[in-house]
Amino acid sequence: MRFVDEYRDAGQARALSAQMAALCRPGHTYKFMEVCGGHTHTIYKHGLEDYLPEAVTLIHGPGCPVCVIPMGRLDDAIHIAEQPGVIMTSFGDMMRVPGGRGSFLDAKARGADIRMVYSPLDALKIARQNPGRRVVFMAIGFETTAPSTAMTVLRAEAEGIHNFSVFCNHVTIIPAIKAILDSPDLHLDGFIGPGHVSAVIGCRPYEFIAHTYGKPLVVTGFEPLDVLRSVYQILTQLAHGRSQVENQYARVVPWNGNPKALNAISRVMELRPYFEWRGLGSISHSALKMTEKYAAYDAERIFHIPGVRVADPKACQCGEVLKGVLKPWECKVFGTACTPETPIGTCMVSSEGACAAYYNFGRFSRQRVKEATSP
């Protein structure tokens, strides 16, 4: 990639729009899921739905790591933060996520020492500077951020820093996609595959989607033309009766992933038997935990964790939004009681949340600009 502008060319977008319209079968409708929340924001920030044929509907998926964390896990983290001598560290996205006992910011106001960091290495630095305190890093994210957590644990071990630990909430994308494919609530025709996750795990893990379920998947970048080209590639596959995994984001994503990153994860972490996802319920082997070898850095072993399940607020429909069953504007409290300033659910808090994307970019109902899809 030389310049950003080459991926934001309006002329190319209009040409792709006409080509996509020509690939659609008369009277047929298509539903494609963009798994990653970053794609959802690209779509609505740049108005890409207006370039799609009327027959094509994009459904957002569960690819927002902050959004899928259940309320009970946040309450567990707050419980740790409130223990004597503890400094809890977290990415900024998690600070305002509501739990059963409020958010991290609420706990901080009650006296807990909770600090925002930009990297787990920042948390390790705090541990190095405060040898008399126990520093816990709230680890969240898909395989995208798991390598940085793993490398930080390895760094802590190498430096002999023993007052640092990780509250591990890393989740894995493949079981979540399989759960959606097996769900009777939603029929999909193809997937816009995640870009950041795929930079770590590669494209090969998605092959079961094409081979077993017969759904095309295109790993996609985050610029406007990236997304439009991926939709064009999916429509081309369907028009020719093919079902394959393709890599539109080859300038970043290697087919076999990043072996060094995968090795770091496997050294420090292992799959959990099951993990609860907001909206999707408990999914087997869908999250990571610290291995026995690194138990000394595992906050779940160091502290007593209540582990109580907490139901979402009755007014919140984040679960249905994360599964793609509802559009954000179909939620009863969207844009009224639930806004980025006063969020009820996680999808309105996170920078990758679907509700935040719809709210920030003014999509309060289904609206298309028909002129954009004409040749």
String of b and e for 288-310 (b: at least 16 CB within 10 Å)? Answer: bbbeeebeebbbbebbebeeeeb
Going by C-alpha positions, the residue among 45, 46, 74, 60 that lies closest to residue 345 is: 74
Predicted local distance difference test score (pLDDT) of residue 371: 42
375 vs 144: CA distance, rounded Å: 38
Predicted local distance difference test score (pLDDT) of residue 375: 43
**For 71-173+260-302, CATH number?**
3.40.50.11740
Predicted local distance difference test score (pLDDT) of residue 308: 81
- Judge if 5-64+183-247 and 71-173+260-302 fold alike in CATH terms: yes
Q: What residues of the chain score a pLDDT lower than 70?
A: 1-3, 363-375
Predicted local distance difference test score (pLDDT) of residue 1: 53
Q: What is the pTM of this model?
A: 0.90
The superfamily CATH assigns to domain 5-64+183-247 is HypD, alpha/beta domain 1 (3.40.50.11750)
Judged on CB neighbours under 10 Å (0-12, 13-18, 19+), 365 is exposed
Tens of pLDDT, residue by residue over 175-199, are 999 999 998 878 999 999 999 999 9
Q: How far is CA 9 from the centre of its chain?
A: 27
Instruction: Tell me the domain boundaries of the chain.
Output: 5-64+183-247, 71-173+260-302, 318-360
Number of Cβ within 10 Å of residue 208's Cβ equals: 15
71's CB contacts (< 8 A; 6+ apart) are 98, 99, 100, 278, 310, 311, 312
Which three-class secondary structure state does DSSP give residue 375? coil
Going by C-alpha positions, the residue among 166, 148, 180, 151 that lies closest to residue 68 is: 180
**Tokens 């990297």 found at:** 119
For residue 292, what are its two tokens? 């026995």
Q: How far is CA 4 from the centre of its chain?
A: 24
